[in-house]
């Protein structure tokens, strides 16, 4: 009995003192961000664990000895680490998870839980998960972290951080490398699918993971796109770890903003994930008579039934109420003759818009090397508009002479709907032949965009006739018109009475107006003409890697079909075809620097609504373009910081410009050839883990090189393209203190500059260059963050763009936004 007791005591004692060793650790990315959901095992022990949302893990109750740690995670290279442990010892290990594009899904399905300014992978550049530095074309991007730190809510503020991207107006209307691209066209991408966003409002960004731009034509993959670049908006996707955040913003211009972002698993085995972004915005803006109310609902669901199959559903719904702001008008050629707040609206104007985008996608991995991707995007847009706006000319006296302080106005009443469907199917297949690694992509796109019958517009303009009605004024027959006396600066003139009261810049007459008193005409224009447009696209792309050299070859064949006379008895198909090649190469000079070059061709049939509108002066020839580009892409500080340099030459023919003919606002003219050549530099990432930086600069010489067939247009040769500055750039840097006394405090400073620009094709009406400085102060304590963004610190008066001196788009004066966020 005594022997048995002694044995039991010895066993208990050995159990008390054995297996007391442990391994603790943390897994981070190269930029020191925690990496969650990495599966870890101790080889040949049966012990396993998973990293938390902070990247931490622990193995306890270990005997002394040597252990082999193995870590695996979706999208990361295998992690291996050998450790030696003594009795009773607890050791700490720091491991780094390196992303591996070959293991990632070929479409954006799973959310990104990182918190970096830097984005390592591009899906848009090659239809595969490819490191940005291995894509033979310049790609600029802005992550959700940048937008959050800058307090950005609209697209126009986000793209200021990108080289070569410039605002044209207040609207969803940009120039990229000097070529115009706007939301009213169907050349934007949303989760890699073709869409439009409506022209009048910049899209909100609160539901976006990132905004990215492929510079130059992306035609070999996406068909007819802008030769300057293609914008892709990528939505936030669900995460496997629960995360919730609320934020409230208030500040200048009576701004009130409330945002929410909820995500996590919907079942225990984490095969069903969700994300819900909500937004409410109510702001007046700095311009007179303007306001903007938005309700945004953006749910996303991911279903992962197996390791090989992923299904995703996204919806973005935006209900917007505002007034359409056509910009500031000035007296004569004096930019400072009226306040930047000047607006021509009446107090009862309105713009009500409803937009939705529904995306469904399937990614199935047949084998480790072969996958199928199918996606569908439905876009819907509904517009209800009443606006008082400029007629693009001044008021006149009886002799037809312009009166500089009077702006002639017109009224639009419009209801319209537009829809778009995009179905894409492509197969990715990877294989090797000797030393060569191949990535093959083959796909098909179907796109249809249409404005159904039922849209319509009424327009009131011109001058009142004695016999009733209204018409454009003819100084040779004044007896037909009604006149009244107008006095300004002590001078009285007899002027024809307008159908719509002129806007007097000296009086700022923004009163209520009665549209029932106007004489309206029903008009047909590009916004209301029934249109049906189709595209069928077949494409093939091969990426070959041999040691340090990667070659990309792409070819796309598109068929464009416009239904001429759509919805009428004379409906017929107008068919066009285009063959679009792409050739690119990337050479790895060393572990930090890649050298690349590319050549692409682009093709754009003229917009179907423009071709169908008899007032534009068409039909017009299609737009053709070509791009030659080369540069360097590099990574520094263990991959935390990227620095990219590109040099490019773009040629485009047959571009349409407004003819700027009074009383013919829809009339267009076609230019022979344009060319843009320049240099761009972008730097993005972290100098230190707590020090973020974005730096961008571009030099762009964008000129008209051939005025076209009309001799009168040859005077445009060597004219800088509209709203295309030769020089522009931006900087933003944020430093977060880590020492004990200032822990949680962050400071940011930045700004952007733009040099002089032409307004439209006029060289006499220009916009001055400007420098705008911005800053931010942040304080984080526990789950709360307090943030104040200070914009236009020097209160600079500047203009982001414009059409002419009666339609200018000024930037906001000094303002602030204060935000409190709670993450749980």
The domain that contains 638 carries what CATH number? 2.40.170.20
Residue 468 lies in a domain: no
pLDDT of res. 359: 95
Find out whether the peptide bond into 157 is cis, omega within 30 degrees of 0: no
Decide if 312 contacts 278 (C-beta within 8 A).
Answer: no
Output the six-digit token pair for 180.
Answer: 């115009």
Residue 491 lies in a domain: no
The arithmetic mean of pLDDT across residues 209-238, rounded, is 90
Residue 435 lies in a domain: yes
pLDDT higher than threshold 90 for residue 210? yes
Residue 479 lies in a domain: no
Decide if 505 contacts 407 (C-beta within 8 A).
Answer: yes
Sheet strands (E) in 227-369 = 229-235, 243-251, 255-265, 272-283, 292-306, 309-322, 350-365
pLDDT higher than threshold 50 for residue 4? no
368 vs 467: which has the higher pLDDT: 467
154/177 same-domain check: yes
pLDDT of res. 763: 75
Alpha-carbon distance values, 607 to 89, 225, 331, 577, 661 (Å)? 72, 12, 34, 15, 21
CA atoms of 235 and 107, how far apart (whole Å):
12
Angle at 463 between CA 458 and CA 464, to 5 degrees: 95
91/221 same-domain check: no
Sheet strands (E) in 20-123 = 21-28, 39-42, 47-50, 56-62, 65-73, 76-85, 90-96, 121-122
Output the six-digit token pair for 746.
Answer: 């962050």
Give the 3-state secondary structure of 20-47: CEEEEEEEECCCCCECCCCEEEECCCCE
**Structure letter (DSSP) for residue 184:** T
pLDDT higher than threshold 60 for residue 796? yes
427/372 same-domain check: yes
Residue 494 lies in a domain: no
420/568 same-domain check: yes
79/162 same-domain check: no
48/185 same-domain check: no
Looking at the 3D structure of the chain, how many domains does it have? 3
Here the CATH number for the domain that contains residue 60 is 2.60.40.1120
pLDDT tens, position by position, 70-100: 988 766 778 989 999 888 888 999 898 876 6
pLDDT tens, position by position, 562-582: 888 888 888 888 888 999 999
231/248 same-domain check: no
187/63 same-domain check: no
pLDDT of res. 75: 62
pLDDT higher than threshold 60 for residue 113? no
Among candidate residues 235, 268, 288, the one where a domain is terminated: 235
Residue 116 lies in a domain: no
Among candidate residues 197, 214, 235, the one where a domain is terminated: 235
CA atoms of 514 and 517, how far apart (whole Å):
6
pLDDT of res. 715: 84
> How many other C-beta atoms lie within 10 A of the C-beta of residue 370?
14
Output the six-digit token pair for 748.
Answer: 């940011």
| HSE (side-chain half, CA atoms, 13 Å) at 422 | 24
pLDDT higher than threshold 50 for residue 260? yes
The arithmetic mean of pLDDT across residues 279-308, rounded, is 94
Decide if 158 contacts 203 (C-beta within 8 A).
Answer: no
pLDDT of res. 31: 61
pLDDT of res. 479: 93
Q: How far is CA 234 from the centre of its chain?
A: 8
pLDDT higher than threshold 70 for residue 526? no
Class of residue 479 by CB neighbours under 10 A (exposed 0-12, middle 13-18, buried 19+): exposed
229/255 same-domain check: no
Angle at 635 between CA 630 and CA 637, to 5 degrees: 160
The arithmetic mean of pLDDT across residues 351-362, rounded, is 96
802/762 same-domain check: yes
User: What pLDDT band is residue 185 in, cutting at 50, 70 and 90?
Assistant: low
Here the CATH number for the domain that contains residue 214 is 2.170.130.10
Residue 510 lies in a domain: no
SS3 content of the chain, % helix, strand, coil (to 5): 10, 60, 35
134/46 same-domain check: no
pLDDT higher than threshold 70 for residue 14? no
Among candidate residues 80, 96, 112, the one where a domain is terminated: 96
pLDDT tens, position by position, 416-465: 999 999 999 999 999 999 999 999 999 999 999 998 988 889 999 999 99
**What is the domain range of residue 550?**
243-459+523-823
Residue 819 lies in a domain: yes
The mean pLDDT value of the chain amounts to: 89
Pairing of strands 784-791, 815-823: antiparallel
454/360 same-domain check: yes
459: region left, alpha or beta (phi > 0 left; psi from -120 to 50 alpha): beta
């Amino acid at each position: 009995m005594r022997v048995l007791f002694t044995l039991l005591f010895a066993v208990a004692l050995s159990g008390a003192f054995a297996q007391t060793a442990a391994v603790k650790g943390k897994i981070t990315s190269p930029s020191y961000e925690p990496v969650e959901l990495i599966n870890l095992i101790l080889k040949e022990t049966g012990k396993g664990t998973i990293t938390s949302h902070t990247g931490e893990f622990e193995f306890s109750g270990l005997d002394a000895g040597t252990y082999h740690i193995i870590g695996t995670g979706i999208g990361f290279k295998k992690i291996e680490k050998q450790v030696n442990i003594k009795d009773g010892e607890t050791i700490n290990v720091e491991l780094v998870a390196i992303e591996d594009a070959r293991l990632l899904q070929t479409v954006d399905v799973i959310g990104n839980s990182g918190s970096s300014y830097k984005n390592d992978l591009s899906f848009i550049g090659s239809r595969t998960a490819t490191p940005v530095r291995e894509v033979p074309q310049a790609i600029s991007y802005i992550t959700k972290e940048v937008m959050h730190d800058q307090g950005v809510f609209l697209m126009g503020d986000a793209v200021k951080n990108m080289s070569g991207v410039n605002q044209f107006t207040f609207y969803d209307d940009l120039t990229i490398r000097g070529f115009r691209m706007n939301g009213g066209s169907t050349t934007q991408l949303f989760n890699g699918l073709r869409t439009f966003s409506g022209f009048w409002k910049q899209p909100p960004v609160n539901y976006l993971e990132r905004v990215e731009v492929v510079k130059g034509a992306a035609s070999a993959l996406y068909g007819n796109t802008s030769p300057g670049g293609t914008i892709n908006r990528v939505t936030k996707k669900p995460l496997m770890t629960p995360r919730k955040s609320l934020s409230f913003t208030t500040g200048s211009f009576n701004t009130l903003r409330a945002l929410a972002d909820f995500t996590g698993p919907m079942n225990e085995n984490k095969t069903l994930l969700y994300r819900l972004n909500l937004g409410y915005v109510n702001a007046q803006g700095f311009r007179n008579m303007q306001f903007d109310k938005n309700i945004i609902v953006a749910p996303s669901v991911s279903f992962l039934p197996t390791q090989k199959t992923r299904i995703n559903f996204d919806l973005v719904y935006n209900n917007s109420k505002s007034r359409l702001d056509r910009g500031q008008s000035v007296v004569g050629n004096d930019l400072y003759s009226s306040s930047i707040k000047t607006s021509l609206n009446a107090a009862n104007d309105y713009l009500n818009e409803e937009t939705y985008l529904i995306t469904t996608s399937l990614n199935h991995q047949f084998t480790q090397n072969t996958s199928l991707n199918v996606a569908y995007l439905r876009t819907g847009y509904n517009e209800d508009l009443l606006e008082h706006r400029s007629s693009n000319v001044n008021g006149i006296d009886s002799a037809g002479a312009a009166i500089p302080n009077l702006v002639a106005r017109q009224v639009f009443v419009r209801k319209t709907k537009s829809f778009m469907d995009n179905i894409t199917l492509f197969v990715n297949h990877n294989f090797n032949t000797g030393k060569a690694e191949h990535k093959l992509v083959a796909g098909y796109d179907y796109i249809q965009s249409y404005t159904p019958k039922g849209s319509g517009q009424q327009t009131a303009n011109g001058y009142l006739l004695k016999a009733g009605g209204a018409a454009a004024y003819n100084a040779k027959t004044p007896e037909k018109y009604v006149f009244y006396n107008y006095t300004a600066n002590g001078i009285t003139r007899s002027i024809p009475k307008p159908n719509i009261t002129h806007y007097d810049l000296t009086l700022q007459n923004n009163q209520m107006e009665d549209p029932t008193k106007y004489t309206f005409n029903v008009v047909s224009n590009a916004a209301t003409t029934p249109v049906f447009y189709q595209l069928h696209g077949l494409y093939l792309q091969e990426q070959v890697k041999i040691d340090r050299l990667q070659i990309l070859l792409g070819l796309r064949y598109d068929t464009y079909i416009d239904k001429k006379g759509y919805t009428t008895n004379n409906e017929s198909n107008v068919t066009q075809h285009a063959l679009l090649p792409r050739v690119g190469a990337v050479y790895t000079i060393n572990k930090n620097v890649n050298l690349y070059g590319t050549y692409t061709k682009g093709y754009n049939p003229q917009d179907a609504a423009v071709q169908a509108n008899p007032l534009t002066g068409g039909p017009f020839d299609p737009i053709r373009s070509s791009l030659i580009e080369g540069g360097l892409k590099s990574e520094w500080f263990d991959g935390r910081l990227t620095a990219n340099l590109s040099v490019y030459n773009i040629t485009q023919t047959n571009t349409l410009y407004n003819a700027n003919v009074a009383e013919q606002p829809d009339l267009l003219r076609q230019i022979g050839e344009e060319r843009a050549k320049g240099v761009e530099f972008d730097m993005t990432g972290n100098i230190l883990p707590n020090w973020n930086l974005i730096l961008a600069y571009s030099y762009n010489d964008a000129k008209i090189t051939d005025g076209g067939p009309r001799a009168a247009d040859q005077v445009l040769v060597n004219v800088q393209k509209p709203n295309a500055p030769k020089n522009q750039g931006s900087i933003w840097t944020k430093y977060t203190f880590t020492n004990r006394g200032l822990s949680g405090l962050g400071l940011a400073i930045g700004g952007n500059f733009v040099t002089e620009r032409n307004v439209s094709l006029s060289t006499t009406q220009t916009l001055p260059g400007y420098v705008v400085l911005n800053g931010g102060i942040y304080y984080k304590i526990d789950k709360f963050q307090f943030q104040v963004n200070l914009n236009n610190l020097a209160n600079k008066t500047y203009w982001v763009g414009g059409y002419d001196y009666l339609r200018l788009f000024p930037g906001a004066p000094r303002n602030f936004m204060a935000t409190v966020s709670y993450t749980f």
